[in-house]
């Protein structure tokens, strides 16, 4: 596994909009504050042109333009890490134009979540380059950084961080008045091991190599020329795999069939355990809970499955290193993740 160089003092983070951009004035204010906050910590920030553009088609620009801006950051020797501006729905359009050969010659951290799974997942599984499944750039723009943002920045600097589950999370959207707000933490965090593989009150631990992302995107990657999952899990089978998965939107039937399909196609062949993040939208049709829908396909694997973990579309979120080794510990509703840096 190739681990890119970590950010050093006077290093540069490139920010680009490979999916959607930000056009709202409060979002712009937040991004500029994020630049200011990072530069006060000794790290330069470089925005590409399309970051502050939004089209009426849910894209920051056409696919060729988005790829050109990403490739410019990949080729820029001063840029150490690339952080996505935002998620969206159409990053897939960019993939055929990305200069992956140059990324292999000059590996850099790429960070983002949701639609950015297209890049975080493919970089790691197909090209053996570690990537970061974590917040998009806007989180750096809080007036007062949440603990999760400090975790993120420390990890990008190569510091070994023990990430511990947070006390509360923001359950949904919150109105912004200044653009610099932190999370509206209104719901208690509780990591929930499934009842099949974990006894109540028992401490649960497992280790393996982390891989995963947004399930909505992974189902689109599966079976395409960008699906190198089989070669990845075969290469690292002796380490075992920790799958972390989350959804933007799903139904009970969709979740059941998605997990069944991935199990049947062999993705979970060497799994040591699963982490499921918090879903933004879930429709529990047939009176089937999210947990029941997942365990419909995974219960027979007899490995730990933990729900409501601190990542996904409901922040705050952990910073997860695709391709890195990690150890998970869960006890009495609290979770901990230690990753090899």
**Strand order across the 131-133 sheet:** 44-47, 12-16, 79-84, 109-112, 131-133, 320-322
Q: Are residues 215 and 232 in the same domain?
A: yes
Rounded average pLDDT over 135-155: 97
6-10, 188-192, 283-287: which range is least confident on average?
A: 283-287
pLDDT higher than 90, residue 195: no
- What mean pLDDT, rounded, does the chain reach? 95
Domain count, the chain: 2
Question: Percentage of the chain surpassing pLDDT 90?
Answer: 87
Q: Are residues 232 and 298 in the same domain?
A: yes
Query: Does the residue 310 lie in any domain?
Result: yes
Rounded average pLDDT over 312-341: 96
Rounded average pLDDT over 23-27: 93
Rounded average pLDDT over 95-102: 98
pLDDT value of position 282: 80
Q: Are residues 150 and 173 in the same domain?
A: no
pLDDT value of position 284: 81
pLDDT value of position 55: 80
Rounded average pLDDT over 58-68: 96
Question: Domain boundary residue among 160, 178, 195?
Answer: 160
pLDDT value of position 281: 83
pLDDT tens figures, 213-272: 999 999 999 999 999 999 999 999 999 999 999 999 888 899 999 999 999 999 999 999
pLDDT value of position 209: 98
* Confidence class for position 103, pLDDT limits 50, 70, 90: very high
Query: Does the residue 154 lie in any domain?
Result: yes
Q: Are residues 153 and 174 in the same domain?
A: no
pLDDT higher than 80, residue 56: no
pLDDT value of position 197: 65
pLDDT higher than 80, residue 330: yes
Query: Does the residue 120 lie in any domain?
Result: yes
Rounded average pLDDT over 31-60: 95
Query: Does the residue 4 lie in any domain?
Result: no
Query: Does the residue 7 lie in any domain?
Result: no
pLDDT higher than 90, residue 287: no
Q: Are residues 107 and 219 in the same domain?
A: no
* Confidence class for position 196, pLDDT limits 50, 70, 90: low
Q: What is the SS3 string spanning the chain?
A: CECCCCCCCCCEEEEECCCCCCCCHHHHHHHHHHHHHHHHCCCEEEECHHHHCCCCCCCCCCHHHHHHHHHHHHHCCCEEEEEECCCCCCHHHHHHHCCHHHHHHCCCEEEECHHHHHHHHHHHHHHCECEEECCCHHHHHCCCCCHHHHHHHHHHCCCCCEEECCCEECCCCCCCCCCCCCCCCCEECCCEECCCCCCCCCCEEEEEEEEEEEHHHHHHHCCCCCCCHHHHHHHCCCCCEEEEEECCEEEHHHHHHHHHHHHHCCCCCCEEEEEEEECCEEECHHHCCHHHHHHHHHHHHCCCEEEEEEEECCCCCCCEEECCEEEEEEECCEEEEEECC
Q: Are residues 217 and 302 in the same domain?
A: yes
Question: Percentage of the chain surpassing pLDDT 70?
Answer: 98
Q: Are residues 28 and 65 in the same domain?
A: yes
pLDDT value of position 199: 67
Q: Are residues 155 and 179 in the same domain?
A: no
pLDDT higher than 80, residue 200: no
Residue with tokens 């937040």: 30
Q: Are residues 219 and 286 in the same domain?
A: yes
pLDDT value of position 262: 97
pLDDT higher than 70, residue 331: yes
Query: Does the residue 6 lie in any domain?
Result: no
> Domain range spanning residue 307?
164-339
pLDDT tens figures, 149-183: 999 999 999 999 999 999 999 998 888 899 999 99
Task: Specify whether the CB–CB gap between 293 and 255 falls below 8 A.
Answer: yes
pLDDT value of position 54: 86
Q: Are residues 28 and 102 in the same domain?
A: yes
CATH number for the domain spanning 128: value is 3.40.50.10740
pLDDT value of position 202: 81
Question: Domain boundary residue among 160, 183, 212?
Answer: 160
Q: For residue 184, how many C-alpha atoms fall within 13 Å in the half-sphere facing its CB?
A: 8
């Amino acid at each position: 596994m190739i681990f890119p160089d970590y950010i050093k003092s006077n290093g540069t983070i490139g920010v680009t909009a490979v999916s959607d951009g930000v056009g709202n004035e409060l979002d712009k204010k937040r991004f500029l504050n994020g630049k200011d906050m990072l530069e006060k910590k000794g790290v330069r920030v470089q925005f590409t042109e399309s970051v502050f553009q939004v089209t009426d088609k849910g894209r920051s620009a056409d696919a060729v333009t988005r790829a050109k801006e990403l490739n410019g950051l990949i080729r820029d020797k001063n840029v150490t890490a690339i952080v996505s501006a935002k998620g969206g729905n159409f990053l897939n359009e960019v993939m055929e134009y990305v200069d992956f050969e140059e990324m292999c010659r000059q590996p850099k951290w790429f960070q983002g979540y949701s639609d950015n799974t297209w890049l975080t997942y493919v970089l790691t599984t197909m090209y053996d380059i570690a990537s970061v499944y974590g917040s998009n750039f806007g989180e750096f723009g809080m007036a007062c950084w949440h603990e999760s943002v400090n975790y993120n920045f420390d990890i990008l600097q190569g510091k070994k961080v023990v990430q511990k589950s947070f006390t509360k999370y923001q359950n949904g959207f919150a109105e912004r008045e200044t653009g610099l707000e932190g999370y509206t933490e209104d719901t208690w965090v509780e990591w929930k091991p499934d009842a099949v593989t974990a006894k109540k009150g028992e401490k649960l631990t497992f280790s393996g190599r982390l891989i995963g992302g947004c399930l909505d995107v992974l189902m689109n990657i599966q079976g395409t020329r960008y699906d190198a999952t089989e070669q990845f899990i075969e290469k690292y089978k002796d380490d075992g795999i920790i799958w972390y998965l989350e959804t933007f939107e799903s139904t009970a039937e969709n979740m059941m069939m998605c997990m069944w399909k991935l199990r049947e196609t062999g993705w979970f062949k060497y799994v040591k355990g699963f982490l499921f993040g918090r879903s933004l939208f879930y429709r529990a049709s047939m009176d089937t809970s999210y947990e029941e829908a997942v365990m419909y396909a995974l219960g027979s694997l007899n490995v730990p499955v933990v729900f409501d973990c601190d990542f996904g579309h409901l922040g705050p979120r952990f910073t997860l290193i695709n391709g890195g080794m990690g150890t998970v510990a869960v006890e009495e509703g609290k979770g901990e993740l230690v990753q090899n840096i």
